[in-house]
Amino acid sequence: MSHASKVSRRLTEAVAPEVIEHVYAPRLAAEMVVVFPLLSAANAAHLVMLERQGILSRAHARAIAGALLRIDEEGAGAIDPDPALEDAYFNVEARLVALCGADAGGRLHIARSRNDLSAALDRMRAREVLLRLVAGALALRRTLLERGALFAEVVMPGHTHLQPAQPITFGYYLTGLASALARDTARLLDAWPRLNLSPMGAAAMATTTFPIDRPLVARLLGFDGVLEHGLDCVASRDFSVELVAAAAQLALTLSRFAQDMHVAVSHEFSAVAFPDSVCGTSSIMPQKKNPVVLEHLKGKAAHVVAAFASVGACIRASHFTNTLDAHREGQAMAWPALVEAERALALAQIAAASARPSEELLLARARANFSTATDLADALVRGAAMDFRTAHHVAGAVVRRLMDAGLGAHQADAALVDAAAMEVAGRKAGLPDDVVARALDPVRGVAARDVLGGPAPVEVRRMAASMEAARLVDAARFDGFRDRLAGAAGERTAALRALAA
């Protein structure tokens, strides 16, 4: 009987060329380098546990440990990936057997399966991505808060529906983004306790008859604990769905920032300027300065949102057990999309750090473009004994008269307000010229909005300081996660070297 399969005596035929071309070869190309260090860690932790539990003899453990250290030292580049071996695991195992022999190397897989191992590798890979995303989000929040405080007095028109709405400041806008990013960061951090649980020991799905120590393996791999139920261990990739969803929301926040800046930097708005170093040009039009960073940043969110849909769609009709449609195909778009989320953070950092508001132009627009009309209505409520709805109509009539005359909001006077009041309310407003002028002064209007969450410079700086304190709390939590992984790596490496001695 022929045994052409390189991984199984159950299979009597070699893998079909089409399967090699469309499944195993692309898989190896995508995962070998990325998964290699994670697989090395998992192999080391499993070996240490097998020896301590008496499942492996010291002699076998020593031989395997020496081979694993050599494999790790050589790196992934020393292994010529063979897609006929299906995946990274079998390729590394083949190298292990070549170094220490089948009698020793073949024992490392006792009491485990590619099922629990794949689940563990996915979790380990996902937590590394999560930490990189959190690091990027923390850095971006710091930049937004620093520049938010810096530009807290740069008055500009705020917009709703892309139309002038009310005066705010550029610092108020930037700290608003930082506020949203704090929630985006929280979603990532909150996913950690559900993500960082070890499935090792579940084996194929029903655990094992060997006396393994699952908590030991979990500790050596930096997991916070064990996901107990064996079937759930190998069946579930909900941590991936959660991570991609959190990354998608983060990317959406960044894309909205990019959209705002894309409009603001346009020639017609000229509200914000970016340095030449983050812009491109045209191959034919000499005058062009294209905001390429913003355009790419806007597009990144689409990749992450599409990956969220892909992960969910692959899992949707899968069985609740180990299954390649949910776990291999389901992750296929997730990993590159998460890289796009990392890139989006880097691009947003460039944009946030380099954007310069056109201060004089923005203030002039806030004075002239009727974004102060709400303050005029409020002044009528306070000084003319009007209900707000009537005051709203009077202020609207003032705006209409100014527009018809080709004038800006700052050119209104008491006489014009009285004429509008007569038209709407049948009586004069009676506001003095200085009251009208103060109401239509955007700098005064912004400064007066010092209620909790308002755009007054003093409140923007207070919020920025409060948000920075919260950011530092998140950073400390992040450092704790990272330190735990570093501590586990140190303990694991020391234990492996002790076995090899």
Model confidence pLDDT, tens digit, residues 345-360? 999 999 999 999 999 9
Q: Tell which CATH architecture fits domain 114-145+165-358+460-483.
A: Up-down Bundle (1.20)
Rounded CA-CA distance 227/275 in Å is: 50
- Angle, alpha carbons 183-189-190 (nearest 5°): 85
Quote the pLDDT of residue 69: 96
Count CB atoms within 10 A of the CB of residue 223.
26
Residue corresponding to tokens 């979990």: 218
Summary mean pLDDT of the chain: 93
In this prediction, residue 296 carries a pLDDT of 93
Written as one string, the DSSP assignment of 430-450 is: ---HHHHHHHT-HHHHHHH--
Q: So where are the chain's domains?
A: 17-110, 114-145+165-358+460-483, 373-440
362: its two tokens: 């923005």
Residue 2 has pLDDT above 50, yes or no: no
Give pTM, 2 decimals. Answer: 0.92
Render 168-227 in DSSP notation, one character per residue.
EEHHHHHHHHHHHHHHHHHHHHHHHHHHSEE-TT-TTTT--SS---HHHHHHHTT-SEE-
Which CATH superfamily does the domain covering 17-110 fall into? Fumarase/aspartase (N-terminal domain) (1.10.275.10)
* Per-residue CA distances from 304 to 227, 299, 364, 402 (Å): 27, 10, 39, 47
Q: Please report which confidence band the pLDDT of residue 4 belongs to, taking 50, 70 and 90 as the band edges.
A: low
Contacts of range 91-95, beta carbons closer than 8 Å, 24 or more positions apart: 91/28, 91/32, 92/36, 92/39, 92/40, 92/43, 95/71
Helix (H, G, I), strand (E, B) or coil at 375: helix
Task: Indicate the Cα dihedral angle 57, 62, 64, 65, nearest 10°.
Answer: 130
Amino acid at 452: L
Q: What is the pLDDT of residues 129-188, one digit of tens each?
A: 999 999 999 999 999 999 999 999 999 999 999 999 999 999 999 999 999 999 999 999
Using alpha carbons only, give the angle 201, 202, 206 rounded to the nearest 5 degrees.
Answer: 130
Grade residue 12 by pLDDT with cuts at 50, 70 and 90.
Answer: low
